[in-house]
């Protein structure tokens, strides 16, 4: 009897969950094993910085599916099994705790890890990073006790944690080197509006500033800024970005750039090895260039696409990437490609929210960020997918029917 092929999915997050589901739906009848470093089955990470921190959602409410779901799919869950490295030659995963695991096909969905700061004092108790459920549980407990919270980094995680901490009534100082929150993703125009949003909710916002040292006697007590000012704090949350978790393929023939390099099917340069999600840098066939997208929707959809390729049903993965962020009473929904723009067109409330920002490159719409304007999502996405050339004055005019502009263009 011919032995069954074995597909191992390395990473039990959103990518791993949707990969095993797609693998079986595509007819893969070999063995399937989902390997995760954490001790819990796949769960929804975006609420960790929002509803979970604020106590509006419990840990049980985060899991995608009950354990029976994976048993019914005939998928083996190997949890609390951190992997040290991939042995390409022997087709085995070398486990950190000893032992190994064979594979015929490997799909790597290890995600990304927070960048850790090395300045003096950042190893003190009371300094937190947020990636896992365990991180969020520890941070939530700290927020119940904290009086003065310092958030380092005004990207999406830092901004969301700031909003959650203020919702819990904590004093919060938000520090970032850049001139506005989330500015690299949404630009100056929207970034300035979010700066005012934080200030209006009582946040002490320090932009163009950096923390050079943390001090404390057995626990963090103060932060020292580059200009010498000291800020009292009893909890520090660091959110200064992430790096793709590529360490498992270090020293192997698997090609790595910013992330693991894959084609539009998720295949690496090594036969039988695939990667998807935050860890993967892939060729977008519609753009003809490589992208690295570190967001929830992409992680799930790209992992599912790669799993279908493993099952013998390859398809070109060419999405319009998207993400969202909830802060205070605002919901930001973003569609588009992480490539440079040369013009921003605002539509709606030009001084605040609700507002839509369209990002253009050479006259074509490449992205849009909509804040509290849900009716414009679908039309904006179609304009982006088509790379539509639209008169900026028409985009800016609230009387312009975006659905009419998008009519006849590609849909989702």
Q: Model confidence over 363-402: pLDDT tens digits?
A: 999 999 999 999 999 999 999 999 999 999 999 999 999 9
Which of the two residues, 352 and 200, has the higher pLDDT score?
200
Q: What is the mean pLDDT of residues 221-225?
A: 98
- pLDDT recorded at residue 410: 60
- Single pTM value for the model: 0.95
- pLDDT recorded at residue 412: 44
Which of the two residues, 408 and 115, has the higher pLDDT score?
115
Work out the number of other CB atoms within 10 angstroms of the CB of residue 341. Answer: 18
Please choose, from the candidates 270, 376, 271, the residue with its C-alpha nearest in 3D space to the C-alpha of residue 332: 376
pLDDT of 411 strictly over 60: no
Q: What is the mean pLDDT of residues 61-67?
A: 97
What gap in Å lies between CA 97 and CA 388, rounded to an integer?
Answer: 52
- The beta strand positions in 121-234, using DSSP E, are 127-129, 148-152, 171-176, 204-207, 211-215, 222-225, 230-232
Q: How far is CA 407 from the centre of its chain?
A: 31
Map out the domains of the chain with their CATH numbers: 6-113+243-310 (3.50.50.60), 116-240 (3.50.50.60), 329-406 (3.30.390.30)
Cβ(370)–Cβ(356) below 8 Å: yes
Please choose, from the candidates 138, 244, 137, 240, the residue with its C-alpha nearest in 3D space to the C-alpha of residue 181: 240
Find tokens 């000893």 and name the residue.
Answer: 98
What gap in Å lies between CA 290 and CA 252, rounded to an integer?
Answer: 21
Q: Which residues of 99-114 are buried (b: 16+ CB within 10 A; e: fewer)?
A: eebebebbbbbbbbbb
> Which tokens hold the place of 290?
């490589």
pLDDT tens per residue across span 315-362: 999 999 999 999 999 999 999 998 899 999 999 987 889 999 999 999
Helix axes 156-167, 183-200, angle to 10 degrees: 20
């Amino acid at each position: 009897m011919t032995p069954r092929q074995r597909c191992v999915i390395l990473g039990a997050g959103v990518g791993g969950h949707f990969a095993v589901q797609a693998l079986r739906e595509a007819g893969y009848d070999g063995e399937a094993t989902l390997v995760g470093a954490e001790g819990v089955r796949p769960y929804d990470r975006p609420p960790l910085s929002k509803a979970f921190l604020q106590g509006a959602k419990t840990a049980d409410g985060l899991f995608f599916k009950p354990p029976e779901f994976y048993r019914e799919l005939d998928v083996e869950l190997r949890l609390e099994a951190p992997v040290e490295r991939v042995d390409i030659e022997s087709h085995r995963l070398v486990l950190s705790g000893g032992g190994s695991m064979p594979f015929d096909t490997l799909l790597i969905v290890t995600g990304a890890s927070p960048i850790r700061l090395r300045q003096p004092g950042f190893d003190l108790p009371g300094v937190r990073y947020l990636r896992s459920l365990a991180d969020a549980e520890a941070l939530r407990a700290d927020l119940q006790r904290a009086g003065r919270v310092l958030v380092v980094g005004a990207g999406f995680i830092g901004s969301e944690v700031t909003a959650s901490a203020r919702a819990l009534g904590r004093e919060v100082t938000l520090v970032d080197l850049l001139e506005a929150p989330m500015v690299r993703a949404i630009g100056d125009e929207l970034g300035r509006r979010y700066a005012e949003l934080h200030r209006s909710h009582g946040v002490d916002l320090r932009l163009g500033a950096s923390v050079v040292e943390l001090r404390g006697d057995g626990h963090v007590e103060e932060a020292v800024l580059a200009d010498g000012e000291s800020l009292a704090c009893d909890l520090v949350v660091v959110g200064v970005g992430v790096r793709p978790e590529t360490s498992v393929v270090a020293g192997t023939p698997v090609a790595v750039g910013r992330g693991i390099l894959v084609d539009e099917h998720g295949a690496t340069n090594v036969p039988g090895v695939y990667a998807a999600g935050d860890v993967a840098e892939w060729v977008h066939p519609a753009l003809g260039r490589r992208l690295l997208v570190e967001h929830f929707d992409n992680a799930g959809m790209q992992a599912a696409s790669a799993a279908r390729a493993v099952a013998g049903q390859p398809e070109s993965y060419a999405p319009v990437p998207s993400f969202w962020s909830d802060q205070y009473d605002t919901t930001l929904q973003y569609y588009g490609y992480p490539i440079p723009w040369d013009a921003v067109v605002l539509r709606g409330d030009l001084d605040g929210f609700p507002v839509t920002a369209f990002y253009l490159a050479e006259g074509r719409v490449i992205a849009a960020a909509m804040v509290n304007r849900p009716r414009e999502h679908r039309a904006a996405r179609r304009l982006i997918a088509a790379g539509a050339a639209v008169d900026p004055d028409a985009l800016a005019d609230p009387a312009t029917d975006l659905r009419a502009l998008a009519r006849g263009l590609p849909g989702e």
